[in-house]
């Protein structure tokens, strides 16, 4: 969509990201980390460079949920599971 910027939380028109979208993004992020040959330590470092997302997650969920989901999907991917949605 030209002119629309997407973030983990909102589209620029103010639509709240759904839980399904959050899981799809986390699954894609885990796949990208895998395809680039990055491990959990690399992913943890990279995710630490997004303090605004961390702050928003902690305010809403009490922990850095985006990071937890991505790392959970990385574990699942490493075990060959590409279908199971993660529960947090």
User: pLDDT (tens digit, 0 to 9) for every residue of the chain, 88 residues total?
Assistant: 344 444 554 544 455 668 888 888 999 999 999 999 999 999 999 999 999 999 989 998 999 999 999 999 999 999 998 888 877 6
Q: Per the domain annotation, does 33 fall within a domain?
A: yes
Q: Per the domain annotation, does 86 fall within a domain?
A: no
**Rounded Cα gap, residues 87 and 30, in angstroms:** 15
Calculate the CA 79 to chain-centre distance: 18
> What residue numbers bound the domain in which 69 lies?
23-78
Q: Per the domain annotation, does 14 fall within a domain?
A: no
Q: Per the domain annotation, does 59 fall within a domain?
A: yes
Q: Per the domain annotation, does 40 fall within a domain?
A: yes
pTM, to two decimals: 0.78
Q: Per the domain annotation, does 39 fall within a domain?
A: yes
Q: How many residues belong to the chain?
A: 88
DSSP of 12-72, one letter per residue? TT-PBPPHHHHHHHHHHHHHHHHHTT--HHHHHHHHTT-HHHHHHHHHHHSS-HHHHHHHH
Domain total for the chain? 1
């Amino acid at each position: 969509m030209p002119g629309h910027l997407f973030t983990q939380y909102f589209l620029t028109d103010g639509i709240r990201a759904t839980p399904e979208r959050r899981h799809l993004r986390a699954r894609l992020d885990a796949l990208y980390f895998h395809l680039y040959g990055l491990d959990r330590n690399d992913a943890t470092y990279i995710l630490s460079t997004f303090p605004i997302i961390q702050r928003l997650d902690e305010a809403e969920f009490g922990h850095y949920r985006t990071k937890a989901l991505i790392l959970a999907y990385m574990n699942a991917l490493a075990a060959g599971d590409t279908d199971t949605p993660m529960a947090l």
